[in-house]
A and B are shown apart, each in its own frame.
Chain A
Amino acid sequence: MAKRKRRPQPTVLPEHGPVDEAGREVLLSLRNVDITFGKGDRAVRAVKNVSFDIYRGETFSLVGESGSGKTTIGRAVIGVTPCAAGQILYKGVPISGKTGKALDREIIRRIQMVFQDPAASLNERATVDYIVSEGLYNFHLYDNEADRHRKVERIMEEVGLLPEHLTRYPHEFSGGQRQRIGLARAMVMEPELVIADEPISALDVSIRAQVLNLLKKFQQERGVTYLFIAHDLSIVRFISDRIGVIYKGDLVEIAEAEELFDYPLHPYTRSLISAIPIPDPVLEKNKVLVTYDPSVHEYRQDKPELVDIGHNHYVFGSPAEIEAYRAVREQGVPLHCVTVRQRDAAGEEAAEQIAPAQVQTEPPVQDVGSRWYAVGSFLLPPVGLLAAGLFKRFRYRRSYQACKKGALAGLAAIGTVVGLFCLLLVLAVL
């Protein structure tokens, strides 16, 4: 704070973000963001050329399986993970890459995060009072001690906890209560954007509902914007305004929630929807599981892109695919992606499923990889090498490895002995 007083700066962030042609205020916008981990040949592109906007007051959800990069995007927005390329704009101001200290502080205040595991994300050794007011301390968001106390008590009440809970420690609370503390900690800062990274995956069904309702309540009362990260489309459908589906770092589809469920154009979205457990035994037991096979796409010649096909609906695909998607969408008939098979067909498919498993079950039984192979090869390295070659030829993988290991060790040992002998010989001659 002292530094800022010496060098007074104008407020770094504008009050409002840019407004797009539809009249919505863009709060956060990602422009061709690439995030890589590792360097050189071992670099992994966790997020590939992702662009999307989040409008003020909405809930935008990112859905995908684990490892798809949805959490990485969330972390990039709060600046924990650096972007390799592209830009993240908050209210039109770039917040990725090199930013000033003042802007950094501002961002930390305006964007808050709610984590998945409430047991791991709260400081075990601090009282709830301190956990909730830590942000207030850091930013001096209170006039005096009484004011801070008033703020903390109010937020505790809003998340459904009691003032007497303030002197307790996180381990004294149940999972649902801990997640409420995590929510209180984020909300007391009066953020504009909250990144909720799977906030309810670790919770029970009944507590889930309570936390989801709380999130909705805060949105209605304070106009908070959410970036909601999840893998379960049924919850996402309930809470979000718009949904982005992400697969292995590619954003494959963005649409409004009902639009996405009515017209899931990308095959991966369809497989996600078909995986939602339906709480109806007749439907769920006979549901056909759609698995996504990325090899259906022909991307060698035409590079795929995320294209707007109208109705605020973006799909990732090559030009030919986009044409097909657009045609399907224009027909205006909701797509069926959950198919329920008839009774007699069920048996056939089950038989089909078991067949390929049996083909695989002919492993070389004698491939024991015994350590005696290694010992033998160590004693007689040339024979060991020969044996290793034979084992490799007949794909006795473990025996091959044992022989190879033993033979190499044997050769090394012989080499060392010969080397030492030569050295001594040279020394003796000299």
Chain B
Amino acid sequence: MEQKKVILSVRDLHVKFCVRGRILSAIRGISLDLYRGESIAIVGESGSGKSVFTKTFAGMLETNGYIDQGQLLFYGVEGTPLDLTALRRARDWNQIRGGKIATVFQDPMTSLDPIIPIGRQITSVILKHQACTKAEARARALELMAKVGIPEPQARFDDYPFQYSGGMRQRIVIAIALSCQPQILICDEPTTALDVTIQAQILKLIKDLQKEFGYTIVFITHDLGVVANIADRVAVLYAGQIVELGTVEEIFYDPRHPYTWALLSSLPQLAQRNTKLYAITGTPPSLYNRIVGDAFAPRNPQCMQIDTLKEPPMFRVTDTHYAKTWLLDPRAPKTEKPELIRNIHEKLLKAFHI
């Protein structure tokens, strides 16, 4: 394996929220390295902490949230790595947020200002982060609009967000995010609010622009079909912890964690008609309480006694593939993944007549 350069290194991160006098542990010890130019997908249910995780290094954590312990080292600036947990003042964050680490949000309607023309929303970001004149900012904005595929950017420069369709609006949001050549682009479910056809176009756009700009993509989603499209590596999040981490091929063809199995099994693309779709029973655990043992144990059909007593460590499968489940312990009984998700490749070839 070639040596890849780390751009962001997360070590044993714990994030907690103070909600009405109670402590909620949203992130319970995540360690992860992001490499330059890769795209990593973060998968999980709502409430599993995927958005909170990215917000910690985008400097957008809500005011009642705080980093309890852990380290976030950012290698994007020259010289020594920057510990993002040490940034306290808003002024320090202004250098990073938007300039080095940019975010594309889920709903393009709410992330654009409805009463400011599109063009000015792009130029204002350029003017804030880069020293240039208005005319240069405008030229750059037009160039970006053309790059993200807006036909006739000059004519649409002064239009308002409501005059754009959903897909076009999301393209504008991407243009704004890319306007300062960020090194990390966080995409927080950018296609959930869009149609399938538009979703495919936006994903292609994000990938094509990655070749040109060379940013690292952190893609948050709960749709495994999208993950297959965009990701090089996948981190499966459950109850504030990474339960499985691996390359996209490993996660889809050789998943090891029961939660990953369950996620794959519930895909309608793999289901046979007139059968029951696999559904994960129960709900995720409450993060207000301390979780004993494996967080997924109560919903796990392959649950063992040790799962309810002791938290499993990260087991190494290959150099790139890790899973947090006792099933990988040598003493555990041999458990095969469910029938439904074996031979995914052949099943899909048949289902789609490829």
User: Hey, which bits of chain A sit against chain B, CB under 8 A?
Assistant: 65-67, 174-175, 204-206, 208-210, 212-213, 216, 231-235, 237-238, 257-258, 261-262, 271-285, 289, 291-292, 334-340, 350, 353-354, 357, 360-361, 363-368, 395, 397-398, 401
Contact = CB atoms under 8 A, between A and B. Distances in A.
A357 B146 contact: yes
Q: Which 4 A-B pairs have the closest CB atoms?
A: A277-B225, A209-B279, A284-B228, A360-B146
Contacts of A284: 225, 228-229
B222 interface: yes
Contacts of A278: 225, 228, 269, 348, 352
A212 B328 CA distance: 33
A205 B267 contact: yes
Interface of B: 45-46, 134-136, 138-139, 142-143, 146-147, 149, 153-155, 157-158, 165-166, 195-201, 204, 208, 211-212, 222-229, 231, 248-249, 252, 262-264, 266-271, 273, 276-280, 283, 344-345, 348-349, 351-354
A164 B326 CA distance: 37
Contacts of B349: 283
B45 A271 contact: no
Contact of A237 (B143, B155, B231, B268): B268
Nearest to B269: A234
Given A280-B348, A284-B229, A397 B195 contact: no
Contacts of A279: 224-225, 227-228, 252, 264, 267, 269-270, 344, 348
Contacts, number: 175
Given A281-B252, A357-B147, A365-B139, A275 B228 contact: no
Contact of A205 (B139, B147, B197, B263): B263
A361 B139 CA distance: 9
B222 A205 contact: yes
Contacts of B149: 357
B contacts with A: majority SS: helix
Given A280-B252, A361-B146, A398-B157, A66 B135 contact: no
Contacts of A210: 279
Contacts of B153: 360, 363
Contacts of B279: 206, 209-210, 213
B155 A335 contact: no
Contact of B345 (A65, A213, A283): A283
A140 B353 CA distance: 52
A275 B199 contact: yes
Contact of B273 (A238, A262, A340, A350): A238
29 contacts: A205-B222, A208-B266, A209-B268, A209-B277, A212-B268, A216-B276, A234-B225, A238-B277, A261-B351, A261-B352, A272-B197, A274-B200, A275-B196, A275-B200, A276-B225, A277-B225, A279-B227, A283-B348, A291-B201, A335-B353, A336-B354, A338-B353, A354-B212, A363-B153, A363-B154, A365-B135, A365-B136, A397-B155, A397-B157
